[in-house]
Amino acid sequence: MSVPTRGETFSELLHHIRMAEEKAAMMAHLVRAEGSGIKDNAIANGWLKISELFRQMATKVTSLAQGRLN
């Protein structure tokens, strides 16, 4: 059994966050493609906002890993 390193753990964490960002953006696309109403557009916008939050999280995680706390 290998001992986990900071670099490997950071890389895995960032990978999962970026995958979540992509999946949320895909949900927005699918909702828009399958729907047609105002409610569907609002839901798609919500998924896009979630995607943006994951992008911001990835930026914060990267900053933290580089030793910057702000």
Q: Which domain holds residue 42?
A: 6-65
Q: Is residue 15 part of a domain?
A: yes
Q: How distant, in Å, are the alpha carbons of 14, 35, 56 from that of 21?
A: 10, 21, 10
Number of domains forming the structure of the chain: 1
C-alpha closest to that of 24 among 1, 4, 44: 44
User: Is 1 a domain residue?
Assistant: no
Query: Does any domain span residue 70?
Result: no
User: Is residue 37 a part of any domain in this protein?
Assistant: yes
Find out whether 40 and 13 touch, Cβ atoms under 8 Å. no
Whole-number pLDDT of residue 4: 87
Contact at 8 Å (CB) between 30 and 23? no
Q: Rounded mean pLDDT of 29-56?
A: 95
Q: What mean pLDDT is predicted for residues 48-68? A: 95
Q: Is residue 28 part of a domain?
A: yes
Residue 34 is assigned to a structural domain of this protein: yes
Mean pLDDT over the full length of the chain:
93
Q: What percent of the chain has pLDDT over 90?
A: 77
